[in-house]
Amino acid sequence: MPASPAGPEIENLITLLAKLPGLGPRSARRAALALVKKRDILLKPLADALGQVGEKIRPCETCGNIDASDPCHICSAPGRDPTIICVVQEVGDLWALERAAAFRGRYHVLGGCLSALDGIRPEDLNIAKLIERATDLEITEVILAMNATVDGQTTAHYITDHLASAGVKISRLAHGVPVGGELDYLDDGTISAAISSRRPF
Amino acid sequence: MKWQADGYILSVRSHGETSAIVNVLTKEQGRHAGLVRGGRSRRLRPVLQPGNHVNLAWNARLSEHLGTFTVEALDARAAVLMEDRLSLAALNAACVLCMQALPEREAHPKLYDVFEILLAQLHDKDVWPAIYVRFEIGLLQALGYGLDLSQCAATGTKDNLTHVSPRSGRAVCAGAAKPYLDKLLPLPPFLQGQNQVGGDDIMDGLSLSEYFLKTRVFYSQNKDLPEARARMVEMLGTALKNPN
């Protein structure tokens, strides 16, 4: 293998960047070069931001979201409806719902979903805390915003079974035609889910 | 190396950022794995769900290579079954059992047929539990641990077979079973061709297959029975006790 033209520091940076999603060795090299070229406007602020995230960010003890404060800014926001909990698999799902700005309640992040093959059991997820939260008298509804996959829906059914005694309304996201979707291009499963969950119009 | 066949998706595992390694069950090739390029795309994700019936074209340079699949959807069973908790639990259990118990690239056409019937009937809660038990008995048979339910191991009679010997896996008639009732496993009548199937029969059938799967198949692999199966049995037991 030829010796690296850059020093070990740059090589180390490239190796670490290449581990990020969406980046390979070649794009990591380009990113490293861009960082070095824009030392003042990119490299230093990025290093500061990474340092702060590494130092301050932690999971919220209440909902599992990640934030610099505990409880997180969503759990402590006074303007949000404290009676509704939306259950999501990952923090990325929470961010997606927040981008849509369609939900103004509180969240609960499970940290994954049950998977028989990967050996992910209920104990490995943040389910016990959810059940504890749902039994709070203030909670009236739990929305299961799980992925429409076999594992996601298995997790949703499992949670539904374990929340049965909590006396809260349990709902789930609709499955069906996406906005802008054309029937001709949809897969059979989505069309059959859309037909079975049709509603009066 | 190339082949083309219809099959059922058993499991999907992400590979890199865009591809997926998919395990399928086919009649001619048995359980077979392959790489699906673009398997994590929006177009293919709904197709690559466990339980979906697909048409597969497998292509590899050498037969021992992982190879790549080209997948086309035939029937999106998973989407229908997601609505019902019990059906979904049974689908999970059947797929995981195939994944963990069946050796790769070994054809078991009879087991495939039972698996196909099971998936086709999973929406009918009155029908699928008995087929599921037959699927597990068929799985044992495919793995070389088939039960001999044709005649009594002690007397040779073919009538009134009520139990199965945990040691030999052979049926035992009521008379011969009497002194050993605490050691023998109950044999549900529907496994001998009788049409009446009660809730207790289903649970007896599941206990029977569980014992042999545990001791013959999973014990030798130093594994426990999949948790998905245990969850399904628990849910089914509760549902059979409280049908409403």
Query: For residue B165, is pLDDT > 90?
Result: yes
What's the 3-state SS for B126-174? CCHHHHHHHHHHHHHHHCCCCCECCCCCCCCCCCCEEEECCCCCEEEEH
In the block, tokens 């999970």 appear at B92
A196 touches chain B (CB under 8 A): yes
SS3 label, residue B222 = coil
Distance CA A119, CA B213 (A): 19
CB contact under 8 A, B75 and A188: yes
Chain-chain contact of A150 with B226 (C-beta, under 8 angstroms): no
Which of A157, A161, A190 shows the shortest C-beta gap to B79?
A190
Q: Using alpha carbons, select from A187, A176, A87, A150 the residue that is nearest to residue B82.
A: A150
Q: Which of B13, B83, B95, B235 should be substituted to probe chain A, the one whose Cβ sees the most A Cβ atoms within 10 Å?
A: B83
Interface of A with B in 39-58 (CB under 8 A): none
> pLDDT category, B2, cuts 50, 70, 90?
very high
Which stretch of DSSP H or E encloses residue A13? Answer: helix A8-17
pLDDT tens column, A156-166 = 999 999 999 88
Find, in chain A, the residue whose alpha carbon is nearest to that of B86. A157
Is the per-residue pLDDT at A4 higher than 80? no
Q: How confident is the model at residue A137 (pLDDT cuts 50, 70, 90)?
A: confident
**Average pLDDT in the A129-156 region?**
93
Q: How far is CA B3 from the centre of its chain?
A: 24
Query: How confident is the model at residue A3, as a pLDDT?
Result: 60
Task: Parse chain A into domains and list their residue ranges.
Answer: 8-56, 66-200
Domain A66-200 has CATH 3.40.1360.10: yes
Question: Which residues pair with residue A170 across a beta bridge?
Answer: A142
A36-54, pLDDT tens digit by residue? 999 999 999 999 999 999 9
Optimal mutation site among A115, A157, A186, interface B, most CBs of chain B within 10 A: A157
Residue B182's pLDDT band, with cuts at 50, 70 and 90, is very high
pLDDT range class, residue B17, cuts 50, 70, 90: confident
B11, B76, B82 ranked by CB distance to A117: nearest: B11
Q: Which residues of chain B lie closer than 8 angstroms to A175, CB-CB?
A: 79, 82
Q: Which of A116, A157, A188 sits opposite B96 (nearest CB)?
A: A116
Residue B10: C-alpha distances to residues B158, B227, B232 (Å): 38, 16, 17
Q: Which helix (H) or strand (E) holds A47?
A: helix A44-56
Contact residues, chain A, for B49 at CB < 8 Å? 149-150, 189
Structure pTM?
Answer: 0.89
Q: Specify the DSSP element, H or E, that contains A143.
A: strand A141-144
Q: The domain A8-56 belongs to what CATH superfamily?
A: RecR Domain 1 (1.10.8.420)
Rounded to a whole number of angstroms, the distance from the CA of A101 to the nearest CA of chain B is 23
> For B105-143, how does the pLDDT look when each residue is reduced to its tens digit (9 = 90+)?
999 999 999 999 999 999 999 999 999 999 999 999 999
User: How far apart are the C-alpha atoms of A141 and A105, rounded to whole Å?
Assistant: 10
One fold for both A8-56 and A66-200?
no
By C-alpha distance, the chain A residue nearest B83 is A153
Spatial separation of the C-alpha atoms in residues A99 and B93, rounded to whole Å:
36
Q: What is the pLDDT of residue B192?
A: 87
Share the mean pLDDT of chain A.
92
B11, B52, B88 member nearest A154 (Cβ): B88
Contact B82 A160 (CB under 8 A): no
Q: Is A138 on the interface with B (CB under 8 A)?
A: no
pLDDT for B56 beyond 60: yes
CA distance B29 to chain A (A): 21
Nearest CB to A192 within list B47, B76, B85: B76
Residue A195 has pLDDT above 80, yes or no: yes
Task: Please answer yes or no on whether B82 and A21 come within 8 Å at the CB atom.
Answer: no
> Is the Cβ pair B82, A193 closer than 8 Å?
yes
Residue of A nearest to B48 (CA): A149
pLDDT of residue A199: 87
